[in-house]
């Protein structure tokens, strides 16, 4: 575990020094500025507009970082052969993967927290005060972070057995599909054949449900998120990430490096 | 010598290729070899012979199709055993945003050993190939390992750097470490190694002390002489001329007759030396035989 921690800290250090990450943070600040401008022309619905726009920006930026840097975590190391010197040391391959995952999630947590702070400051600027109900924004940000962790795990899994380009396509594809899992569950199964209905149900439970993590509408209107949902989403993300990372470790442990 | 530090048994690696990966090409075929404790072992062979494949198998970067290997008596799958091994990859590359050293006295000492003590604060992305090679060597020996495995340690180094690496390898040997390194540079292997293994086409073709691998029987004598002015001595037509100097290769039993004839023609003898087969010749003969065999197989369509 200590070895995974060392890899995680190094991954964090690398990501923080990555210029792509800086430019995305800059983009976030730009979005916040846009939110202020939009807020000023939307009479009476400033909070709704600012929170929606701010959370969307945090989510989009986070997803971009998770997919692109998530896929590069392993593939870049293999391409540049930095992995050789590392894996020749007493480091298990799963420890390396876990460290990479932890490092990027830590980076995302720091990045997302910075953006959330920016959002709260913008809200304070527009409303001149923050209320207790505004804490729901932090819950929404926490859910975004859980979603990002899940995307990183998927990106890692795909990058363990395919090319970076395909890994990006698979991750983005699965993310988009995962946004519509609820629709898949709501399909009228009575019009399908029993086999198709069973397959649809099975598939809807197998695919990651990213829509679970979307509480943007509640946050925009200042409505509280139930504690049970927080617990359920946390457990869902932890269990799903564990399964995906275990699969990634199994694949990566058997992989021949170039 | 106290037993084997590295034991390799029937190690085989095949790579799938072609449509649906149905065909297989052997990169290493049934390698059996031992590296004794405390010796410097050179692994020599042409490009694609299987040197790096063997080393990567030992470092568990790739996995064997068949066979097994043990280092310090433990299977290579034992992760904790890797504490005792230092490894320099071929063309080493490290996290380029790091500097060579930011902590610990031992790091500083190692960098001094490899001649990088003045460059330790520069980011690795600004290093030359030779400097990266030295950082690689420093990280391989940093934790005072018992076995050091170096994949082409001399590659990319200038003559001074090569000399430094040679000195480090000899120092490791003096400290009782076992060193196994692969190289193309045969003179380095001859100079440094207690034993060498020659690998060609994925198969080990010979293991032994550099002197015993080649046929040490004299292959004749070489006379170096100087001759000013013209002469019609018959031996001169067989000599190779470089400026005023000539080189003449003669059989051992013909040496004295040749010297007399040359002196009679007014030549000044500069030196007489015995010609022996070198490791390079042994190596080249093997490679050529392997290529001829491969060509024969191709022609017969097998």
Looking at the structure, do residues B267 and B124 belong to the same domain, yes or no? no
Percent of chain B, pLDDT > 90? Answer: 24
pLDDT given at position A39: 61
| 3-state secondary structure (DSSP) of residue B205 | strand
Residue B88 included in any domain? yes
Residue A9: inside a domain: yes
How far is the alpha carbon of B151 from chain A, nearest alpha carbon, in Å? 12
Whether residue B234 sits in one domain with residue B178: no
CA–CA separation, A255 vs A258, rounded Å? 9
Sort B40 into a burial class: Cβ within 10 Å, 0-12 / 13-18 / 19+: buried
Residue B137 lies in a domain: yes
| Whether the predicted pLDDT of B104 surpasses 80 | no
Q: Which residue carries 């600040």 as its tokens?
A: A29
ipTM of the complex: 0.77
* Strands of the sheet with B240-242, listed across from one edge: B240-242, B245-250, B221-226, B268-274
Domain count, chain B: 2
Residue A82 contacts B where some CB pair is shorter than 8 Å: yes
| Whole-structure pTM value | 0.80
Does B56 touch chain A if contact means CB atoms closer than 8 Å?
yes
- B94–A87 C-beta distance less than 8 A: no
User: Do both B202 and B234 map to the same domain?
Assistant: no
DSSP one-letter code for B123:
B
**Chain A residue with the nearest C-alpha to that of B136:** A85
pLDDT in tens, B2-19: 678 999 999 999 888 877
Q: Which residues of B touch A84 (CB under 8 A)?
A: 59, 61, 87, 89, 92
- The answer to whether position A241 is within a domain reads yes
**Same-domain pairing of B66 and B171:** yes
The pLDDT > 70 percentage for chain B reads 87
- Chain A residues in contact with B61 by the CB 8 A cut-off are 83-84, 87-88, 256-257
- CA distances for B302 relative to B21, B140, B141, B290, angstroms: 20, 44, 46, 16
More confident residue, A78 or A150: A150
Whichever domain contains B162, its CATH number is 3.40.50.300
Tell me, yes or no, whether B185 and B234 share the same domain.
no
Q: Are residues B180 and B241 in the same domain?
A: no
Q: What is the pLDDT of residue B302?
A: 47
| Same domain flag for B152 and B131 | yes
Examine the domain organization and report whether B131 and B261 are in the same domain.
no
Asked if A88 reaches chain B (Cβ–Cβ under 8 Å), the answer is: yes
Helix ranges restricted to H, chain A: 2-16, 19-41, 46-80, 82-87, 93-127, 136-159, 164-179, 181-185, 194-206, 216-220, 227-253
The answer, for B87 touching chain A at a CB cutoff of 8 Å, is: yes
Are residue B111 and residue B19 in the same domain, yes or no?
yes
The answer as to whether A258 is a domain residue is no
pLDDT in tens, B212-243: 776 555 678 889 998 877 777 788 888 888 87
Query: SS3 for B83-122, per residue?
Result: HHEEEECCCCCCCCCCECCCCCHHHHHHHHHCCCCCCCCC
**What confidence tens digit (pLDDT) does each residue in A123-160 have?**
888 777 788 878 889 999 999 999 999 999 999 999 99
Q: Are residues B240 and B199 in the same domain?
A: no
Name the domain boundary from B193, B211, B229. Answer: B211
Q: Does B295 map to a domain? A: no
What's the pLDDT score for residue A138?
Answer: 92
Distance CA B135, CA B161 (A): 12
Co-location of B116 and B171 in the same domain: yes
The parent domain of residue A232 ranges over 2-253
Residue B171: give the domain boundaries.
4-211
Number of domains in chain A: 1
For residue B120, is pLDDT > 80?
A: no
Check CB contact under 8 Å for A256 and B61: yes
Task: Give the gap in angstroms from C-alpha A178 to the nearest C-alpha of chain B.
Answer: 31
Cα gap A35→A135, rounded to integer Å = 19
* Candidate from A40-49, A77-86, A203-212, B171-180 with smallest mean pLDDT: A40-49
* Contact check, Cβ <8 Å, A84/B95: no
pLDDT in tens, A201-244: 888 889 999 988 988 888 888 788 899 999 999 999 999 999 99
A165 versus B49: which is more confidently predicted?
Answer: A165
How far is Cα B227 from Cα B216, in angstroms, rounded to an integer?
31
Residue A50 belongs to some domain of the structure: yes
B142 touches chain A (CB under 8 A): no
């Amino acid at each position: 575990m200590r070895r995974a921690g060392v890899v995680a800290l190094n991954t964090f250090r690398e990501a923080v020094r990555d210029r792509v990450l800086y430019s995305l943070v800059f983009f976030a600040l730009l979005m916040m500025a846009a939110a202020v401008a939009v807020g000023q022309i939307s009479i009476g619905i400033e909070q709704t507009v600012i929170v929606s726009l701010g959370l969307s920006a945090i989510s989009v930026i986070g997803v971009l970082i998770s997919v692109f840097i998530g896929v590069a975590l392993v593939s870049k190391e293999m391409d540049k052969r930095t992995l050789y010197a590392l894996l020749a040391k007493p480091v298990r391959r799963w420890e390396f993967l876990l460290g990479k995952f932890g490092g990027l999630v830590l980076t995302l947590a720091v990045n997302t927290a910075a953006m959330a702070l920016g959002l709260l400051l913008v809200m304070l600027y527009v409303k001149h005060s923050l209320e207790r109900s505004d804490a729901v924004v932090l819950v929404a940000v926490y859910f975004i972070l859980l979603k990002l962790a899940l995307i990183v795990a998927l990106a890692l899994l795909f990058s363990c057995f395919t090319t970076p380009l395909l890994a990006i396509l698979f991750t983005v594809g699965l993310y988009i599909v995962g946004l519509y899992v609820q629709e898949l569950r709501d399909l009228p199964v009575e019009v399908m054949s029993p086999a198709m209905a069973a397959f649809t149900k099975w598939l809807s439970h197998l695919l990651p449900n990213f829509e679970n993590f979307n509480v943007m509408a509640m946050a925009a209107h200042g409505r509280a998120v139930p504690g049970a949902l927080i617990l359920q989403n946390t457990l869902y993300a932890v269990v799903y990430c564990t399964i995906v990372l275990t699969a990634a470790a199994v694949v990566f442990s058997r992989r021949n490096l170039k | 010598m106290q037993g084997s530090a590295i034991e390799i048994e029937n190690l085989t690696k095949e790579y799938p290729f072609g449509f649906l990966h149905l065909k297989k090409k052997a990169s290493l075929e049934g390698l059996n070899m031992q590296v004794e404790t405390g010796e410097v072992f050179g692994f020599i062979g042409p490009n694609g012979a299987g040197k790096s494949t063997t080393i990567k198998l030992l470092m568990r970067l790739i996995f064997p199709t068949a066979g097994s290997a043990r280092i310090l008596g433990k299977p290579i799958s034992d992760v904790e055993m890797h504490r005792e091994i230092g490894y320099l990859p071929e063309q080493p590359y490290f996290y380029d945003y790091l500097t060579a050293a930011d902590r610990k006295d031992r790091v500083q000492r190692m960098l001094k050993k490899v001649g990088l003590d003045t460059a330790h604060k520069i980011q690795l992305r600004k290093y030359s190939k030779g400097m990266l090679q030295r950082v690689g060597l420093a990280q391989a020996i940093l934790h005072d390992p018992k076995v050091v495995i170096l994949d082409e340690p001399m590659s990319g180094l200038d003559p001074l750097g090569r000399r430094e690496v040679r000195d480090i390898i000899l120092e490791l040997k003096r400290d009782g470490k076992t060193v196994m390194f692969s190289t193309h540079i045969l003179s380095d292997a001859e100079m440094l190694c207690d034993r060498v293994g020659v690998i060609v086409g994925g198969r080990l073709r010979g293991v032994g002390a550099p002197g015993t691998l080649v046929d040490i029987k004299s292959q004749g004598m070489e006379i170096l002489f100087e001759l000013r002015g013209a002469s019609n001595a018959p031996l001169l037509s067989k000599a190779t001329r470089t400026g005023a100097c000539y080189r003449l290769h003669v059989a051992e039993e013909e040496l004295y007759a040749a010297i007399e004839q040359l002196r009679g023609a007014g030549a000044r003898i500069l030196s007489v030396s015995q010609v022996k087969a070198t490791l390079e010749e042994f190596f080249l003969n093997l490679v050529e035989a392997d290529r001829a065999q491969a060509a024969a197989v191709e022609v017969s369509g097998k």
